[in-house]
Amino acid sequence: MEIAANRMDRGFYQYQDEFEKKALEILRSGWYILGKEVSFFEEEFAAYTGAKYCVGLASGLDALWIAFKLLNIRRGDEVIVQGNTYIASVMGITINGATPVFVEPDPYFGIDVDKIEEKITNKTKAILVVHLYGVASKMDRIVELCKKYNLRLVEDCAQSHGACFHSQMTGTFGDVGCFSFYPSKNLGAFGDAGAVVVNEKQLADDFRMFRNYGSEKRYYNKVVGANSRLDELQAGFLRVRLTHMRELTEEKIRIAKRYSAQISNPVIQLPKVPEGSSCVWHQYVIRCEERDRLIEYLNGKGIHTIIHYPIPPHLAEAYRYLGHQEGFLPITEHLAKTVLSIPLYNGMLDEEQEYVIQAVNKFR
């Protein structure tokens, strides 16, 4: 059996009729940028998360860098972020000239809350929490730390649509929740797309202005902004998928539960979810000291996997200028050498799940 690391086509065929109907409706409407689909999606996604406002943007990276920009975080400022994240989280900080200050992760792949305070200096302006792989980070103490030190709190929710900490949705704990709707994300578009959720009206207005060349009124530009608009087609597709978010998330949780119950192999460590958090399983990430041999073995059985992520941002060529050497973040670096995401996607067949479980269990 051949099992791809992800099957985004399955996600399309699950609701094919609805997507095709929506596409035709928008194509025939004659209105393609900043119209009713975007406005409705913004209302619906804000309601879904429990935030007051949502502003659609062109990507998750735009959501991050524009968030820091509008929070006035810039050269000379420091932002605390976990070392084990996708590099886009860090680029959101550095595009603004600010410096990322890396913290090691806890056993759930989230930022280790016990190691944050020692990294706070008089230059620290914000904490960026990444709800990696779909696990909601433990937010209570992070929110307290932000209050205590008067720091901004930004959440990278690119992998955590619908994940909650104590029943509150990720993205709503701080100043800005940043979302990506890249096709492979839990709420995926059919192209690039992103959004922010915020509770402050002024900030929502600032995002709306910034994404459209800094203008509220056509040809009246208040600030030097960007072109970062969510388009009508993507917004329309996202509205369709959002109506099915509950069942899509439940499906992923069901597959993950099955993996956790049935994968049993002494050389493989399974992912855990902390008390009080929920996980929406953007990825099902196992760990294995002989990870590279496991990859070869699974490939041989037709099972394709991905490493999220093989090079931690502090060791990326792009961040050589920060001056960090190998050994600077031992836990993060060890994760990069041992993590592996096994296939888990919407529309995954029972026999595919079974095949993955059997293969992983037989690895020696």
Ligand X SMILES: *Cc1c(COP(=O)(O)O)cnc(C)c1O
Binding site for ligand X (CB under 6 A): 59-61, 85-86, 88-89, 130, 156, 158-159, 180, 182, 192, 194
Angle at Cα 136 formed by Cα 130 and Cα 137, nearest 5°? 60
**Pairwise CA distance, residues 103 & 80, whole Å:** 7
**Pairwise CA distance, residues 43 & 53, whole Å:** 7
Least distance in Å: CB of 284 to ligand X?
Answer: 15
Q: Among residues 42 and 156, whose Cβ is nearest to ligand X?
A: 156
Least distance in Å: CB of 210 to ligand X?
Answer: 16
**Pairwise CA distance, residues 57 & 52, whole Å:** 17
Q: Among residues 104 and 192, whose Cβ is nearest to ligand X?
A: 192
Q: Among residues 64 and 303, whose Cβ is nearest to ligand X?
A: 64
**Pairwise CA distance, residues 31 & 134, whole Å:** 34
Q: Among residues 85 and 96, whose Cβ is nearest to ligand X?
A: 85
Least distance in Å: CB of 130 to ligand X?
Answer: 5
Other CB atoms within a 10 A radius of the CB of residue 336 amount to 19
Least distance in Å: CB of 85 to ligand X?
Answer: 6
Residue 246, CA atoms < 13 Å, CB-side half-sphere: 2
The phi and psi torsions of 80 (rounded to 5 degrees) equal -85, 130
Q: Among residues 11 and 60, whose Cβ is nearest to ligand X?
A: 60
Least distance in Å: CB of 212 to ligand X?
Answer: 18
Least distance in Å: CB of 150 to ligand X?
Answer: 25
The phi and psi torsions of 92 (rounded to 5 degrees) equal -55, -35
Beta strands in 228-331 (DSSP E): 284-287
Q: Among residues 89 and 278, whose Cβ is nearest to ligand X?
A: 89
Beta strands in the chain (DSSP E): 53-57, 78-82, 99-103, 124-130, 152-156, 164-165, 168-169, 176-180, 194-198, 215-217, 220-221, 284-287, 339-342
Q: Among residues 59 and 338, whose Cβ is nearest to ligand X?
A: 59
Q: Among residues 139 and 268, whose Cβ is nearest to ligand X?
A: 139
Cβ proximity of 169 and 49 under 8 Å: yes
CB nearest ligand X: which residue?
Answer: 60
Beta strands in 50-151 (DSSP E): 53-57, 78-82, 99-103, 124-130
**Pairwise CA distance, residues 163 & 89, whole Å:** 18
The phi and psi torsions of 17 (rounded to 5 degrees) equal -60, -45
Other CB atoms within a 10 A radius of the CB of residue 218 amount to 8
Q: Among residues 92 and 225, whose Cβ is nearest to ligand X?
A: 92
**Pairwise CA distance, residues 346 & 190, whole Å:** 15
Least distance in Å: CB of 292 to ligand X?
Answer: 23
Q: Which amino acid is at 350?
A: D
**Pairwise CA distance, residues 65 & 194, whole Å:** 12
Q: Among residues 137 and 353, whose Cβ is nearest to ligand X?
A: 137
Least distance in Å: CB of 195 to ligand X?
Answer: 10
Cβ proximity of 261 and 72 under 8 Å: no
Least distance in Å: CB of 335 to ligand X?
Answer: 14
Cβ proximity of 103 and 132 under 8 Å: no
